[in-house]
Amino acid sequence: MDTLELDTRAVRRLAVRRQHLSGPRLRPGPDGLREVLRDLRCLQIDPIGVVARSHELVLWSRLGGYRHADLDALLWEERWLFEYWAHAASMVLTEDLPLHRRLMRRHPGEGSRLEAWAEANGELREHVLDRLREAGPLPTDGFEDRAAVPWESTGWTAGRNVERMLELLWFQGRIMVAGRRGRTRLWDLAERCLPAWADRSERTDAEIEERSAEHALRALGAGRARDVRRHFVRERYGDTDRTLERLVAQGRAVRARVKGSAEPWFVHADVLPLVEEAAGVGWEGRTTLLSPFDNLLCDRERTSLLWGFDYVNEMYTPRAKRRFGYYVLPVLHGDRLVGRVAARADRRRGVLELEGVYAEAWVDDEEAAPGLAEAVEGLAGLAAVGSVACTGPVPPVWRSALAALC
């Protein structure tokens, strides 16, 4: 096939469409969850719940209202998902187990400080495995600290020997998160957590890299080698350029040129039917709010390149130095990122506080206003609060629409 000719707008639209942020909205039941998760491939887990947990926000942005019980059933009953490390701690698909086994086999790196620490603490490792064998699932405080050599760190992990050993065994695939008690993880042996149908086979590095790159490329819509490297199983692809060339030779991807970019781009064969739609004048998107850790913009460099949107997570920035706020949700309108909403759910008072609403400098009309107001109202529903209060600045172009809520 000839090289595709794309512009930046078409690339944005392909990404938005492949991320289920445009097009027909799926029904928010188990089947809809499965389809979204199959295309995203991973769902980052983050403990911060200022409005809602990140994975809840990601699914809400795509499906609207959905039942948390349906997601829990996929995770803890069917074991269709499990918790593991993708580009961060995430929910991943059990059918992708062979792809994650590469990290399981190689962790920790040979000659690393962690490997030396683990070898020195064999008694702690065996204690953890024995306790789980006898009494699992168990929380972190269900184990004794039998470390012969303490874990030394300048960060928060210093001296947290049991937690470090649990994390090591989790990365190695020997133990898994069997459930949660609130936000507390319950650990158990992997063989008790994985369903009988899970594919435990070993794949070659080439097979793993190709399959992982295909998942990333489908989710991206169109991407460069560097985009693929930073998506899904971040930086675990080996030689991405060669992997993508193999996919082209096999007819599973095609080359593309993007106007204004000197780098080669690629589009997965499964995405080709959407290319004409992305280039059309009748393309329609939606207006929604995105998690700070949303799959669409987890690669900040790509977000800046395609959307001209520079996003900095200010949660760990001193209050006086924040530009926008502590927990800031980007506003997606169609194929553009048009603003940001700093929000906080005060569940004691039953109020979603908008601590600041900001339009991008180039936004000079009210086009996104009705959709933004609807998205804010939906966000209040997700956060299980009954009202919205504007406690910070609101741009004039959106003030009238939001005033009806505040």
CB neighbours (10 Å) of residue 189? Answer: 17
- Residues of the chain where predicted confidence (pLDDT) is lower than 70: 1
> Is residue 295 a contact partner of residue 332, using CB atoms and an 8 Å limit?
no
Q: Are 135 and 183 in contact (CB under 8 A)?
A: no
Strands 184-189 and 253-258 come out as unpaired
Please tell me the distance from the alpha carbon of residue 237 to that of residue 231, in angstroms, as a whole number.
10
C-alpha torsion angle, residues 131, 132, 133, 135 (rounded to 10) = 80
Question: Tokens 């942020």 map to which residue?
Answer: 21
In our burial notation (b when 16+ CB lie closer than 10 A, e otherwise), range 376-388 reads: bebbbebbebeeb
Q: For 216, left (φ over 0), alpha (ψ -120 to 50), or beta?
A: alpha
Amino acid at 208: I
**Vertex 67 angle, CA 66 and 73, to 5°:** 125
CA atoms within 13 A on the CB side of 140: 13
pLDDT of residue 10: 97
Q: Provide the pLDDT for residue 123.
A: 97
User: Are 295 and 62 in contact, with CB atoms under 8 Å apart?
Assistant: no
- Please give the pLDDT value at position 283: 84
User: Hunting for tokens 């956060």 — which residue is that?
Assistant: 383
Q: What is the pLDDT of residues 103-132, one digit of tens each?
A: 999 999 888 999 999 999 999 999 999 999
According to DSSP, the β-strands at 328-333 and 336-346 are antiparallel
What pLDDT, on a 0 to 100 scale, did the predictor assign at position 406? 87
